[in-house]
Structure 1
Amino acid sequence: MARKPSGRLLAFYIGTIAAVVALFGAVTAYGEKNLVAPPSIAGRYRLKTAALPPCLRDLDLQLQQSGAFLTATLPGQTPEAKLPQLTGRLQETNHFVLKLDRLTCKHGEPLENLAFHGKLVSAKQLTGVIKYRSTAPLRRQPWDNQPFDAVQTR
C-alpha cells in the first residue's frame, strides 16, 4: 500500500524547485547583460604609418583571435621572410597590446620590446601607437610612439 506524501514534504519539494528556477533565471539574466563575448577582429590588416622599422615596411598584420587572446604575425612577401609572432589580449574596452620581444632586421640592429598599442575603431579598422623600448641608453628610434592605422584587407 502506497503512502500519500504529507503536505509539508510536498511544500518543501515545490519550494526547492521554485528556488532553483528563480536562481537559474537570475544567473541567466546576469550573464546575458554582463558577459559579452569580445568582438571579432581576426583578419589581415594593412599597416599605415609615417615610419616603421625597415624590416616592417609594406607588411600586413595577420591577427588570429581566440576569445580575448590575440596572436599576430607579420607575414613577409615571401614565405621564408616570415617574422616572429606577436602576442596580446583584447581588453573589455576594445583596446589591445601586441608585444614582440625580439626581432632582428636584415642588415640592422635587433629590435627589442616592440609593442603595438591599439584600439578597435570599427569592425574593420584599428588605430594605435607603436612603442619601442631600446636596451641601449638614450637611443630613440623614429618609429617610437608612432601612430598607426590599419584597415582590414581580407
Structure 2
Amino acid sequence: MSVITKKIGWKVAASLVVANMIGTGVFTSLGFQLLDVQNSWSVAALWILGGVMALVGAFCYAEVGSAFPKSGGEYVFLTKIYHPFVGYLAGWVSLIVGFAAPVALAAMALGAYTSNVVSIAPSVLAVGTVILISVIHSFNLRVSSRFQAFATWFKVLLLL
C-alpha cells in the first residue's frame, strides 16, 4: 500500500510566512500609531523592537521544541512543563484569540476599506470575505496553495 503525502512547495511556504508577517496591523494600526507618535523614526524603532521581541520568542519556541520533539505546539509544551489543564486552556485561547479574532479583524478592515469603493455594508463584505476564502481553502491543497500565493503577493503589491 503506497502512502500519498500532500505537501506544499517552498514558494507557498514562503508566501505563508510573508502573509503572517504582513498582517492587518500594517494596514490598520500604523495609522493609529502615527496619530500618537509624530516622529516616524520612533515608529520605526518600535517596529524594530517588536521584530526583535518576536525573534526572541521564536528562539524560545525553537529551544522548547527541541526539548519536546512532538507535534502539538503550545499544547504539548505547556502540558509537559506545567499541567495538562494549562495546555488545554492555551489551546482554547489560541483558537479564539490567536486564530478567530485576527481573521475577524482582517475581514472587518477589508470591509471598511472596500465599502468606500463599493456600496455594500462593511459587515456584509467582511462576512462574505470569510465565507469566500473558507470555501476556496476547502477544495484541496493545490487550489488553496495557489490562492494563498496569489493573495500574499497581491498584498505585497499593495504595499509597494
Q: Shorter-normalised TM-score: what interval?
A: under 0.3
Query: Higher helix fraction: Structure 1 or Structure 2?
Result: 2
TM-score (norm 2): 0.20
Q: Which has the larger radius of gyration?
A: 1
- Structure that is richer in strand per residue: 1
